[in-house]
Amino acid sequence: MIPYVNSPQNNTKVYIGIVKQLRSMIEHDGLKPGDRLPSERELSERLGVGRSSVREALRALELLGLIETRRGEGTFMRDFRGHQLVQLLSTFILQDKKSIRDVKETKFLIELDCLWLIIQKAEEDQLLRFKKWALEADYTDDDFFLKIVTLADNHLFLRIWIILKDYYNSLDLERMMVTKEQYAELIETLISRNESEVIRVYRNLRNLSKG
Amino acid sequence: MIPYVNSPQNNTKVYIGIVKQLRSMIEHDGLKPGDRLPSERELSERLGVGRSSVREALRALELLGLIETRRGEGTFMRDFRGHQLVQLLSTFILQDKKSIRDVKETKFLIELDCLWLIIQKAEEDQLLRFKKWALEADYTDDDFFLKIVTLADNHLFLRIWIILKDYYNSLDLERMMVTKEQYAELIETLISRNESEVIRVYRNLRNLSKG
DNA sequence: AAAAATAAACTGGTCAGACCACTGAGAGAA
DNA sequence: TTCTCTCAGTGGTCTGACCAGTTTATTTTT
């Protein structure tokens, strides 16, 4: 297929090239979670690189949680959702105050963005179904806002939010209590498409002062 | 120091053990960004494992953005405050649902978030310096908003925005013309800390209809 | 013929050793 | 002192070997 990992005078490391090749290979062949990747030896041959380089690439992807390897069987695509690395990173990253503040700030603002998007785009019946669920079901704050972010119908925000959520949870901050009434109130403001009210209710729910 | 990477009948892979060893090594020695780690050969010897295994661990950490390697020099701790993770996942995420609409939407909303953050946090003189620059210098839209996002003082947003910007540019959409006056007007509203005006001017600048 | 045991052919996991390309410090020359 | 230049050290890569599992094919036994 693609014989070269790197162009002739490319300085980038081989294993980086392999990661890229793998990515396009995954895309090209439409590999889905559970599917098997070519063996290390086959990749090594097909890409014209040493097996050790292939392994460096695979190990990196494995640590990221993107693939899974089973001795004697092979390497498989994995259903990844960012979990792996968040846990890993949190053990490494210095938990300096600014980082934590950035994570909180970003998560909150993206949630607010999603609320805004919902006001703009969501269908009436979607919101009504959401409301019904919120009143009846049992859920955590993450559950609730996952639905919010999903309703916002923006894949990018969804991905980013999930990562932030995981990281946020790993910080082990004090949880604020949110009552079912508050959630319901938020949904009401969404249904009424009242921008400023949404902001007010959300800030209140998150215990954020005006500023 | 610690001679064993894995306990005798531990099934976990060597490179995983090395990652853990490295972590405690970093913690124990109080290594900070910029500091050098032991060489691959030394680690190999100290931990009693093959160099290739050491490399698999290091490559994984490198892809995560936790360390940085320079040929001929060594391996160094990195300033990973901005969390490489977003960058990383983006290469996999952005391709899986290349929704152009999502990219635009996300970029714009994050820019708005940053404007809001500036209103909340930025110092007066920072804004005045920014204004001076905006009136005198030559710049592209990306230049201008890079400054915006930087002023917002949120590393996470900065990272995400840069990725989005690059991706956005690669989409090759029609560029909208923005006059220097519009940029200046935006800064004025920032200085006056007028939230609703900022939103209005920004939307106008981006040619966004109300909704 | 069916079932069980065995063998072969794969797969990932690891190691050792060999080069290469590059950097930096120290030895030596100017 | 200052400038080369050499050389030891470092990461980057490849090869080949062996181990330890899994799967498939083959042979043997029932």
3-state secondary structure labels for all residues of B86-132: HHHHHHHHHHHCCCHHHHHHHHHHHHHHHHHHHHHHCCHHHHHHHHH
Nearest-nucleotide field for A74 (CA, C1'): C11
Q: Is the pLDDT of residue A95 over 80?
A: no
* Residue predicted with more confidence, B89 or A10: A10
> Which region among A66-70, A148-152, A207-211 has the lowest average model confidence (pLDDT)?
A207-211
Q: Which nucleotides of C are covered by protein (CB under 7 A)?
A: 10-18, 21-24
Q: Give yes or no: residues B143 and B50 share one domain.
A: no
Q: B110 is in which domain, residue-wise?
A: 84-205
- Please indicate whether, in this complex, the C-beta atoms of A102 and B26 are within 8 angstroms of each other: no
pLDDT computed for residue A93 by the predictor: 47
- Please indicate whether, in this complex, the C-beta atoms of A109 and B106 are within 8 angstroms of each other: no
Q: Is the pLDDT of residue A142 over 90?
A: yes
Q: Beta partners for A75?
A: A37, A69
Distance, CA of A159 to CA of B86 (rounded, Å):
9
> Which region among A5-9, A49-53, A101-105, A141-145 has the lowest average model confidence (pLDDT)?
A5-9
Q: Give yes or no: residues A142 and A173 share one domain.
A: yes
Say how far A3 CA is from D26 C1', in Å.
Answer: 37
* Residue predicted with more confidence, A172 or B145: B145
Q: Is the pLDDT of residue A20 over 90?
A: no
pLDDT computed for residue A2 by the predictor: 39
Residues B129, B165, A198, A193, CA torsion sign: positive
Q: Give yes or no: residues B97 and B174 share one domain.
A: yes
**Domain assignment of residue A182, yes or no:** yes
Say how far A11 CA is from C30 C1', in Å.
Answer: 37
pLDDT computed for residue B61 by the predictor: 86
Partners of B93 on chain A (C-beta within 8 Å) are: 155-156, 159
Listed residues A51, A77, A103: the one ending a domain: A77
Q: Is the pLDDT of residue B104 over 50?
A: yes
pLDDT computed for residue A6 by the predictor: 58
Q: Under 8 Å CB-to-CB from B21, ≥6 apart: which residues?
A: B2, B5, B47
**Domain assignment of residue A184, yes or no:** yes
Percent of chain A with pLDDT over 70: 85
Q: What is the mean pLDDT of residues B146-174?
A: 84
The 3-state DSSP composition of chain A as helix, strand, coil percent (nearest 5) reads: 65, 5, 30
How much is the CA Rg of chain B, to the nearest whole Å? 23
pLDDT band at A96 (very low <50, low <70, confident <90, very high): low
**Domain assignment of residue A211, yes or no:** no
- Please indicate whether, in this complex, the C-beta atoms of B117 and A102 are within 8 angstroms of each other: no
Q: Give yes or no: residues A96 and A200 share one domain.
A: yes
**Domain assignment of residue A126, yes or no:** yes
The residue with tokens 């939230």 is B195
Say how far A166 CA is from D2 C1', in Å.
Answer: 58
CATH number at residue A145: 1.20.120.530
pLDDT digits (tens, 9 = 90+) for B1-48: 444 555 444 567 888 889 888 888 887 888 888 999 999 999 999 999
B170 at A interface, C-beta within 8 A: no
Please name the member of A27, A57, A102 whose beta carbon is closest to the beta carbon of B95.
A27
Say how far B45 CA is from C14 C1', in Å.
Answer: 14
Count the neighbouring beta carbons within 10 Å of the beta carbon of residue A120. 14
pLDDT band at B211 (very low <50, low <70, confident <90, very high): very low
Task: Write the Ramachandran bin of B14: left for phi over 0, alpha for psi from -120 to 50, otherwise beta.
Answer: alpha
CATH number at residue B64: 1.10.10.10
Say how far B54 CA is from D14 C1', in Å.
Answer: 17
- Please indicate whether, in this complex, the C-beta atoms of B59 and A57 are within 8 angstroms of each other: yes
Q: Give yes or no: residues A33 and A66 share one domain.
A: yes
Listed residues B62, B77, B92: the one ending a domain: B77
Please name the member of B56, B83, B89 whose beta carbon is closest to the beta carbon of A59.
B56
**Domain assignment of residue A171, yes or no:** yes
pLDDT digits (tens, 9 = 90+) for B88-97: 455 544 455 5
Closest by CA to A168, choosing from A94, A81, A84, A108, is: A108
Percent of chain B with pLDDT over 90: 53
Listed residues A32, A55, A77: the one ending a domain: A77
In this complex, how many residue pairs, one in chain A and one in chain B, have their CB atoms less than 8 Å apart?
119
Q: CA nearest A20 in B: which residue?
A: B91
- Please indicate whether, in this complex, the C-beta atoms of A102 and B15 are within 8 angstroms of each other: no
3-state secondary structure at position B32? coil
Please name the member of A86, A93, A156 whose beta carbon is closest to the beta carbon of B106.
A156
**Domain assignment of residue A8, yes or no:** no
Please name the member of B15, B85, B102 whose beta carbon is closest to the beta carbon of A156.
B102
**Domain assignment of residue A169, yes or no:** yes
**Residue at the smallest CA–C1' distance to nucleotide C24:** B73
A40 at B interface, C-beta within 8 A: no
Q: Is the pLDDT of residue A82 over 50?
A: no
**Domain assignment of residue B181, yes or no:** yes
B89 at A interface, C-beta within 8 A: yes
Q: Give yes or no: residues B70 and B94 share one domain.
A: no
Concatenate the DSSP letters of all residues of A66-104 into one string.
SEEEETTTEEEE----SHHHHHHHHHHS---HHHHHHHH
Q: Give yes or no: residues B121 and B177 share one domain.
A: yes
Q: Give yes or no: residues B19 and B51 share one domain.
A: yes
Q: Give yes or no: residues B54 and B105 share one domain.
A: no
- Please indicate whether, in this complex, the C-beta atoms of A86 and B85 are within 8 angstroms of each other: yes
Question: How far is CA B61 from its chain centroid?
Answer: 16
Q: Give yes or no: residues A54 and A126 share one domain.
A: no
Burial category of B126 from C-beta neighbours within 10 Å (exposed 0-12, middle 13-18, buried 19 and up): middle
CA distances from residue B72 to A143, B146, B166 in whole angstroms, order as listed: 49, 34, 31
Do A88 and B61 touch, CB atoms closer than 8 A? no
- Please indicate whether, in this complex, the C-beta atoms of A155 and B102 are within 8 angstroms of each other: yes
Distance, CA of B3 to CA of A36 (rounded, Å):
36
Q: Give yes or no: residues A187 and A124 share one domain.
A: yes
Q: Beta partners for B69?
A: B75
Compute the CA torsion angle B40, B41, B44, B46 (nearest 10 deg): -110
Q: Is the pLDDT of residue B82 over 90?
A: no
Closest by CA to A112, choosing from A168, A192, A189, is: A189
Distance, CA of A68 to CA of A59 (rounded, Å):
9
Do A46 and A24 touch, CB atoms closer than 8 A? no
Domain count, chain B: 2
Distance, CA of A2 to CA of A113 (rounded, Å):
41
Q: Under 8 Å CB-to-CB from B191, ≥6 apart: which residues?
A: B124, B127, B128, B131
pLDDT computed for residue A198 by the predictor: 95
> Which region among A21-30, A124-133, A134-143 has the lowest average model confidence (pLDDT)?
A21-30
Say how far A72 CA is from C5 C1', in Å.
Answer: 21
Q: How many CA atoms lie within 13 A of B126 on its CB side?
A: 13
Partners of B154 on chain A (C-beta within 8 Å) are: 102, 105-106
Q: Give yes or no: residues A96 and A159 share one domain.
A: yes
Do B112 and B164 touch, CB atoms closer than 8 A? no
Partners of A106 on chain B (C-beta within 8 Å) are: 154, 156-157, 160
